[in-house]
Amino acid sequence: MIKITEKPIDIPKVIETASSLGAGAVNVFIGTVRNTAHNKNVVWLEYEAYEGMAVNETRKIIDDAAHKWPLMGWAVSHRIGTLKPGEVAVVVAVATKHRKESFEACQYIIDKLKENVPIFKKEVFEDGEEWVGAQPKIQASAPMN
Amino acid sequence: MMKVRVFAYGIVRDIAGKSFELEVPGKTVGALRQALLNTYPSLGNLPSLLVAVNQEYADDSQPVKPDDEVVLIPPVSGG
């Protein structure tokens, strides 16, 4: 299951979807909205996704992970829209026979998701807002007096 | 010249709009990128700007046609 949703993520459903009777481990990563960034208070985050491609790119990551580790089940759910601190933004669940590969596969999936999947977030502070990772390069400028 | 409709997300949408047409003097993603930067020079200051054609990341040598689904992808930040 790969899901992009505006509704709160149903964490037990994600875990249940990943689970397998043959598995001895289900590893679950829950990404939550932190209340600070750059030493400022985060009021909320705005997430948006290029949904069709986000699902396709996530599927490629899962396929890669399934080649590297013997996955017995998996599920990924990512929330979009407005999220406040403490809310759950993403859940990755991976089931494997033994625990070691479940940790490794779960970390691989969330790391690659953050690198490749076209999902974008904007941090909204009390005094402004900023697209994460997308701030313009610093331009060379005349020294300030 | 061909006209290509492009869609944008995140900071690119804030700068250029959700959807707009570009006059592209060529038939590749690279030509489209050049036309984009000519129209919106500030996009050149982004840490990265990828182009997706029909929901796949595309490099500058890849061909692009007017009926392709072309989307501008600024740095991603899911999770």
B2 CA to chain A: closest CA distance, Å? 25
Domain containing A75 equals 2-119
The pair of three-digit structure tokens given for residue A19, joined into one six-digit string: 């689970």
Flag whether A70 is in a domain: yes
What average pLDDT does this structure show over A82-97?
A: 98
B26 CA to chain A: closest CA distance, Å? 25
Instruction: List, for residues A33-52, the tens digit of each pLDDT value.
Output: 999 999 999 999 999 999 99
Q: Which phi and psi (to 5°) does residue A79 adopt?
A: -90, 145
Which pLDDT belongs to residue A145? 46
* Partner residue opposite A133 with nearest CB, options B9, B42, B47: B47
DSSP string, chain A: -EEEESSPP-HHHHHHHH--TT-SEEEEEEEE--SEETTEEEEEEEEEE-HHHHHHHHHHHHHHHHHHS--SEEEEEEE-EEE-TT-EEEEEEEEESSHHHHHHHHHHHHHHHHHHS-EEEEEEETTEEEETT-PPPPPP-PPP-
What average pLDDT does this structure show over B35-53?
A: 96
Q: Calculate the average pLDDT of chain B.
A: 97
Say if the Cβ atoms of A137 and B76 lie within 8 Å.
no
Flag whether B79 is in a domain: no
Please check whether residue A50 touches B, CB under 8 A.
Answer: yes
Flag whether B52 is in a domain: yes
A130 in Cβ contact with A71 (< 8 Å): no
The pair of three-digit structure tokens given for residue B76, joined into one six-digit string: 């991603």
Q: Give CA A122 to chain center in angstroms.
A: 14
Flag whether A90 is in a domain: yes
Flag whether B18 is in a domain: yes
Q: How many helices (H) and strands (E) does chain B have?
A: 2, 5
* Partner residue opposite B79 with nearest CB, options A56, A110, A122: A110
d(CA A96, CA A26): 7
In sequence order, the 6+-apart residues with CB closer than 8 A to the CB of A12 are: none
The residue behind tokens 């017995």 is: A72
Flag whether B42 is in a domain: yes
Flag whether A36 is in a domain: yes
Question: How many Cβ pairs closer than 8 A exist between chain A and B?
Answer: 81
d(CA B60, CA A94): 36
The domain that holds B11 is classified in CATH as 3.10.20.30
Q: Check pLDDT > 60 for residue A78.
A: yes
ipTM for this prediction: 0.95
Domain containing B32 equals 2-73
Q: pLDDT category, B1, cuts 50, 70, 90? A: confident
The domain that holds A94 is classified in CATH as 3.90.1170.40
d(CA A104, CA A10): 23
* Partner residue opposite B45 with nearest CB, options A54, A110, A137: A137
Say if the Cβ atoms of B79 and A90 lie within 8 Å.
yes
Say if the Cβ atoms of B76 and A133 lie within 8 Å.
yes
Number of domains in chain A: 1
Interface of A with B in 105-144 (CB under 8 A): 110, 113-122, 131-137, 139
The residue behind tokens 């038939």 is: B27
